[in-house]
Structure 1
Amino acid sequence: MLKTKYKRLKGSQILRQRLLLATLSHTPVLIEDIRTDETWPGLRPHEVSFLRLMEKICDDSFIEINETGTKLKYKPGIVMGGRHLVHDCGTSRAIGYFLEPLIVLALFGRKPLSINLKGITNDSKDPSVDTFKSTTLPMLKHFGVDLKDVVLKIESRGVPPHGGGEVTLTLPTVKSLSAISWTEEGMVKSIRGVSFSTRVSSQFEHAMITSARGVFNRLLPDVHIFTDHRKGPQAGNSPGFGISLVAETTKGCFISADTTVSYGHAGESTEFEEEKKELPPPEDIGEQMAYALLGEINQGGVVDSTHQGLLFLLCALCPADVSKVRVGKLTPYGIETLRNIEDFLKVMFNIEADPSNGTVVLKCVGSGMINLSRKHS
């Protein structure tokens, strides 16, 4: 019997992406020195939860964690997908943390995926489920994914610290993605958005919308921000409010910005502090997010800064053909993604700055990823 050869890595940076790429490239990994110098060393609860999620959608994977959580051995199995799966994401990170790698994995599964995810739907650390619905999933269309089989339904909302949110995600499988040439941003033609509130007055939503519209209406007329006030079980377990905004361009690009205001994640403060802390005014939040969206638009590129990593991943997983994309200033996450792609898939991007508008054009030849386990109907 052949002994498994593990790729050795160190540290905790972008752990979920390393596990995603290890799975897609069938590369066993041994990750050491996970937060060994920190007060609480080892894997965090959300990282362990992500590993459990991988176990649920993959068959025959092997996971071994040492006692302190500072060493992880992972041998990937076959991505199966499946119907009616359920996973509790916990409350240390939002559902958005799990969604990005899950979307990519599901496309290369044996069967279409239908999964119910429980936890935090909206927070200030990870992209909200609204942003995934309005911006992330439509990106897949450019790579040849049929959007009629892509559904993200928000069953209930949950904010930090106690969550209580729930979403259902349905995704098809693909034989392979399509290489793209996506470099034209176009002009912004409309702005859409959702403001929500849980366990606070619905006036918070209207205040955010009014202040956001005050910024946008000076620039274009087509602005519609909807409200989503949740009560009872659909409002989760903690009070909070937030807003997700998306600008659509004439070339089919979606640029987003979002945030959520609540009392923070579990473990970040004591109950006494939680009671005393005051939330910022909703008017300020609406205005700040409007300017944040304008900042993303101003940077240029076919996606916003949050979606750079996913865009590069999808390009690298395309057939062995040239893909070409334009983004704004490269983010630290985007740069780390490019390094991980080269490390696992041996795909290198050619990067050229465009001094005329401060954007960056990236080209690569895809790794030729084909879904060999896909079931044919």
Structure 2
Amino acid sequence: MSKREVLHYEGHKFLKQRLVLSVLSQQPVRIDRIRPDDENPGLRDFEISLLRLLEKATNGSRMVISPTGTSVLFRPGMIAGGRVDMDCPVSRAIGYYLEVLVALGPFGKEQMVATLRGVTMNNTDLSVDTIRTATLVNYRHFGIEEGVELRVTKRGAPPKGGGEVRFICPVVRAVQPLRFVDQGKIRRIRGISYATRVSPQTANRMVETARGELNRYIPDIYIYTDVYRGAESGFSPGFGISLVAESTTGALMTAELCANAGESPEDIGRDAARMLLTEIERGGCFDSPHQWLALLLMVLGPEHAVKTRIGKLTPFSIQYLRDIRDFFNTTFKIQPDPASNTITVTCLGTGYTNVGKKTS
């Protein structure tokens, strides 16, 4: 490909999505003024680790970081896939890095097998449980299903972490076009209540409280308890819960919460259940944390009109749409539906093809 003009941005916000879009579009990007006025200016440890992860997952990526760390120039290489092994800083959860691999993995030259170690759940990033039970399940709407796996071999609660996951993602030549507008009715709720280095009864207490909130609306509820001990329980005590509601048409709504100091299992179970009910009320075929995945894979689809229904756009998704326009020159038609308080989004796919995958 010929060298393309470098896109310029400022600030640390949305850095991750811009680097991912840069790799997928093969569009170089420069980001300046990264926390220039902070006491500790420049890139944080997790952002430097993100750049290292992109270096491991691609061939030929080049990056130049200014001496102060307040500016980075990134020239993307081709997605390689293969084996990726990394210790993630405990300042962010493993989910922060997994989202990058979820976006890039299907378009690599070979199957990705990634082992990441660190914090498995916090209240900032998606937990490994939600990624396993919802994010990767949403792949199926785009024809990516066979061989996808995320295995939690160790759990690691904040602040010290100690968790480990193994992510396997097959490669595809192209994704299938999406036309998913019927959000359906919620038919069942599933979840995982986990506890590490605390009483096993903690997980059961979260389950009972969450069920008490949700059973008023639907009877089909099953929340698994996942209690870790010994070497598989990480370095810190902790507990939390991840919930997924599935509709009659396969739409998934998620909510999750883990405990901070002083919070009881009953608080976590109740608040997570109410968060799930709020997400269900927003409606749509993709919930708030997964709007970005739907928008991205729609753009990367065949050159056909693709369409889906989502709830109210989050501020993150609004910026994501702007960045997609910059990197792929693609815009979405957004049409509100007052009857369901949702919106339908439509775009024309770019016909993205994984040139690294050999045709069978």
Under a length normalisation based on structure 1, what TM-score does the superposition of the two structures give? 0.93
Give, in angstroms, the shift of residue 279 of structure 1: 2.1
**Is the aligned partner of 1:316 residue 2:299?**
yes
Match of 2:54 in 1: 54
Match of 1:258 in 2: 256
Q: Over residues 102-124 of structure 1, what are the superposed CA-to-partner deviations in whole Å (9 max), with x where a residue is unaligned?
A: 11111111001001011111111
User: CA contact under 8 A between 2:114 and 2:166: conserved in structure 1?
Assistant: yes
**Is the aligned partner of 1:236 residue 2:219?**
no
The alignment's C-alpha RMSD in Å is 1.2
Match of 2:110 in 1: 111
User: CA contact under 8 A between 1:81 and 1:112: conserved in structure 2?
Assistant: yes
**Is the aligned partner of 1:327 residue 2:310?**
yes
Distance 1:27 1:186 in 2: 38
Match of 2:276 in 1: 293
Secondary structure at the counterpart of residue 40 of structure 2: coil
User: CA contact under 8 A between 1:244 and 1:257: conserved in structure 2?
Assistant: yes
User: CA contact under 8 A between 2:120 and 2:161: conserved in structure 1?
Assistant: yes
Give, in angstroms, the shift of residue 82 of structure 1: 0.5
Give, in angstroms, the shift of residue 376 of structure 1: 3.9
Q: Over residues 240-270 of structure 1, what are the superposed CA-to-partner deviations in whole Å (9 max), with x where a residue is unaligned?
A: 10000000110011111001114xxxxxxxx
The within-5 A match list for 1:24-43 is 24-43=24-43
Give, in angstroms, the shift of residue 230 of structure 1: 0.4
User: CA contact under 8 A between 2:4 and 2:27: conserved in structure 1?
Assistant: no
Distance 1:363 1:4 in 2: 27
Give, in angstroms, the shift of residue 4 of structure 1: 7.2
Match of 1:362 in 2: 345
Under a length normalisation based on structure 2, what TM-score does the superposition of the two structures give? 0.97
Give, in angstroms, the shift of residue 220 of structure 1: 1.4
Match of 1:10 in 2: 10
Secondary structure at the counterpart of residue 189 of structure 1: strand
Q: Which runs of 5+ in 2 are unaligned?
A: none
* AA in 1 matched with 2:35: R
Secondary structure at the counterpart of residue 329 of structure 1: coil
Distance 1:306 1:3 in 2: 34
* AA in 2 matched with 1:366: G
User: CA contact under 8 A between 2:119 and 2:163: conserved in structure 1?
Assistant: yes
Distance 1:218 1:102 in 2: 38
The within-5 A match list for 1:75-86 is 75-83=75-83, 85-86=84-85
Distance 1:139 1:200 in 2: 33
* AA in 2 matched with 1:170: I
* AA in 2 matched with 1:67: P
Distance 1:319 1:376 in 2: 17
* AA in 2 matched with 1:72: V
Distance 2:282 2:29 in 1: 36
Distance 1:340 1:4 in 2: 16
The within-5 A match list for 1:1-377 is 5-83=5-83, 85-145=84-144, 147-262=145-260, 278-377=261-360
* AA in 2 matched with 1:49: S
User: CA contact under 8 A between 1:204 and 1:241: conserved in structure 2?
Assistant: yes
Percentage of pairs with the same residue: 44
Q: Over residues 167-200 of structure 1, what are the superposed CA-to-partner deviations in whole Å (9 max), with x where a residue is unaligned?
A: 0000011111111111111111111000001111
How many residues in Structure 1 have an aligned counterpart in Structure 2? 359
Distance 1:154 1:51 in 2: 24
Q: Over residues 335-369 of structure 1, what are the superposed CA-to-partner deviations in whole Å (9 max), with x where a residue is unaligned?
A: 11101100101110000111111101100001211
Secondary structure at the counterpart of residue 101 of structure 1: helix
Distance 1:295 1:361 in 2: 20
Distance 1:19 1:39 in 2: 25
User: CA contact under 8 A between 2:146 and 2:170: conserved in structure 1?
Assistant: no
The 1:319–1:4 alpha-carbon spacing in structure 2 relative to 1, beyond 3 Å, is: closer
The 1:288–1:140 alpha-carbon spacing in structure 2 relative to 1, beyond 3 Å, is: same
Q: Over residues 55-94 of structure 1, what are the superposed CA-to-partner deviations in whole Å (9 max), with x where a residue is unaligned?
A: 11111111111111101011111111003x2111111100
Distance 1:35 1:246 in 2: 36
* AA in 2 matched with 1:76: P
User: CA contact under 8 A between 2:305 and 2:347: conserved in structure 1?
Assistant: yes
Distance 2:341 2:215 in 1: 26
Distance 1:118 1:93 in 2: 11
Q: Which runs of 5+ in 1 are unaligned?
A: 263-277
Distance 2:244 2:70 in 1: 39
User: CA contact under 8 A between 1:254 and 1:303: conserved in structure 2?
Assistant: yes
Distance 1:3 1:310 in 2: 27
Secondary structure at the counterpart of residue 138 of structure 2: helix
Give, in angstroms, the shift of residue 334 of structure 1: 0.8
Give, in angstroms, the shift of residue 29 of structure 1: 1.3
